[in-house]
């Protein structure tokens, strides 16, 4: 999985007054959980743009001004209710030998026959919860809709893979093809019967005896 580096400064004071001063200076207060001790630090608000305002999933390298670095994932983020500015960010520390749960985006690939016939693609899940070791976390999961016809559903089991587990029940629907008013609903059985009938007619014409010519009338 791709990683983003965030350069920050360790915080000595975590009180409300100090936090307010950080925000006024364009800094975002952050906390790193998961280790022996929580790490409090701050980073420029612009440093989070590639991490927060994207549909992609990333791990994070937190590089502090004291020389320490930590591998982490975004755990929670708080926004201002009016301005939508970032108020606070929580991270969770990664360890190579410990599995982590993370939301991974779903990429839809292929062209569905049902969509070509006028059906509507509905994406029930744009992200799926995945559990894996950090090295096995995928950048995204692929949902191939090529075989889907009108009324078909693609379940989470179709996206299973090695090295990670999906934290969803097997009947979780990822995408489905819904019927639209303009959809052309094909009856494959009827098509097959029509084809067989046409083949039978052709065979009878080729293999059967030609009709005898009428004898000329005698006067």
CATH code for the structural domain at 101-178:
2.170.120.20
- pLDDT higher for 149 or 190? 149
- Do 30 and 91 form a contact (C-beta atoms < 8 A)? yes
Q: What is the pLDDT of residue 186?
A: 57
Angle (CA) 137 142 147, round 5°: 155
Percent of the chain with pLDDT over 70: 82
pLDDT tens-digit readout, 20-43:
899 999 999 999 999 889 999 999
User: Could you tell me the pTM of the whole model?
Assistant: 0.75
pLDDT greater than 70 at residue 187: no
pLDDT tens-digit readout, 79-100:
999 999 999 999 999 999 999 9
Q: What is the pLDDT of residue 36?
A: 87
- Do 150 and 177 form a contact (C-beta atoms < 8 A)? yes
Question: So where are the chain's domains?
Answer: 3-94, 101-178
> Which of 27-31, 50-54, 215-219 is the most confident on average?
27-31
142's enclosing H/E stretch is: strand 141-144
Do the domains 101-178 and 3-94 match in fold?
Answer: no
pLDDT greater than 70 at residue 5: yes
Q: What is the pLDDT of residue 35?
A: 83
Quickly name the fold that domain 3-94 has.
Ribosomal Protein L25; Chain P (2.40.240)
Strand partners, 32: 39, 91
């Amino acid at each position: 999985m791709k990683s983003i580096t965030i350069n920050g400064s360790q915080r000595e004071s975590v009180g409300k007054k100090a936090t307010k001063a950080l925000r006024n200076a364009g800094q975002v207060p952050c906390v790193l959980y998961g280790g022996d001790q929580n790490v409090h630090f701050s980073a420029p608000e612009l440093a989070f743009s590639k991490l927060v305002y994207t549909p992609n999933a990333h791990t994070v390298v937190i590089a502090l001004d004291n020389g320490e670095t930590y591998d982490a994932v975004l755990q929670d983020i708080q926004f201002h209710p009016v301005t939508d500015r970032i108020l606070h960010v929580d991270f969770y520390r990664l360890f190579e030998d410990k599995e982590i749960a993370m939301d991974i985006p779903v990429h839809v690939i292929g062209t569905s026959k049902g969509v070509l016939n006028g059906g509507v693609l509905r994406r029930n899940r744009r992200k799926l919860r995945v559990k894996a070791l950090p090295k096995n976390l995928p950048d995204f999961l692929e949902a191939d809709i090529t075989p889907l016809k009108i009324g078909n559903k693609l379940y989470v089991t179709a996206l299973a893979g090695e090295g990670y587990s999906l934290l969803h029940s097997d009947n979780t629907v990822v995408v489905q093809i819904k019927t639209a008013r303009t959809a052309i609903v094909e009856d494959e059985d009827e098509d097959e019967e029509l084809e067989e009938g046409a083949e039978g007619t052709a065979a009878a014409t080729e293999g059967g005896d030609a009709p005898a010519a009428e004898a000329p009338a005698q006067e």
